[in-house]
Amino acid sequence: MPREITAFSNPLIKRVRNLRDKKHRREEGLFLAEGLRILTEALEAGRIPDYLFYARDMATHSLVHDLIDATEAAGGEAIETNADILSKLSGKDNPGAVVGVYPEFTVALSDLDRSAAPIWLVAERLRDPGNLGTILRTADAIGAGGLILVDDCVDPFSVEAVRASMGALFTVPVARANWAEFATWLRAGPGQLVGLSLDTEVDYQAARYEAPTFLLTGNEAQGMPDFMAAACDITVKIPMLGKADSLNAAIATAVMAYEVLNQRRRG
């Protein structure tokens, strides 16, 4: 039976509010997700929150009811609250109807099956949570096998990244590794490493991509280091016809990913 919490001073509210901070997420191994669409996507992917907070006036909504039932059946706790508490938890003035607290999850490189999909996305030192979330959405849209985060990337479980992913965090496998680990794993089996670069003459539509294709996007400000570009099987560029010298990292990844996908469809 759900309990009710409406006091800002409640210890659980303070604990969950602290999960917006990376340090506390790491200590607890938990993260926040907010919004009915995202939590429903999570449920459909088999991810059930440890704690579910929901607005009182949404208690009878069928999707909220499904989340409550699933949470309690799995041994979690459903908590009825109000918009002020939900705002405090999510950090938004206009919070979603539900907030969930989930155990963090990532996949080890060794557990990835590269034959499961013809396209994989790789991001190196990605710093912006919005970019990470958007790349996850692209990965979901193209049916990518997963997203591999290389070196010091932004936390995929930050509130901003989870929100930007619109639920794709729960549907796309995410692995984290340093460059040496990734390079060793990649070369232990089939896989074409394709780097997005401005320092090449190869047009992204002129290249031919071999499955499984691993699309490597570098850091937003600096791009990928020279040694990573040299390790790629091919580097390609997207033409820039205006005054801007490059696309946003997440947009460039999406453009490249759909070119690879379109080559597969035509083939």
Q: Where are the domains of the chain?
A: 3-103, 109-266
Residue 103's CB is within 10 A of a number of other CB atoms, namely 13
Global pTM value: 0.93
- When pLDDT is averaged across residues 164-169 and rounded to a whole number, the result is 96
Name 80's Cβ contacts closer than 8 Å, sequence gap at least 6.
Answer: 2, 3, 4, 5, 54, 55, 56, 59
| Residues 201-242 pLDDT 10s | 999 999 999 999 999 999 998 889 999 999 999 999 999 888
Q: Which helix (H) or strand (E) holds 178?
A: none
Q: Give residue 28's pLDDT band: very low, low, confident or very high (50, 70, 90).
A: very high
What tokens were used for 24? Answer: 């506390």
**Domain 109-266 listed as CATH 3.40.250.10:** no
Give residue 55's identity as a one-letter amino acid code. Answer: A
How high is the pLDDT of residue 1?
A: 63
CATH topology of domain 3-103: 60s Ribosomal Protein L30; Chain: A; (3.30.1330)
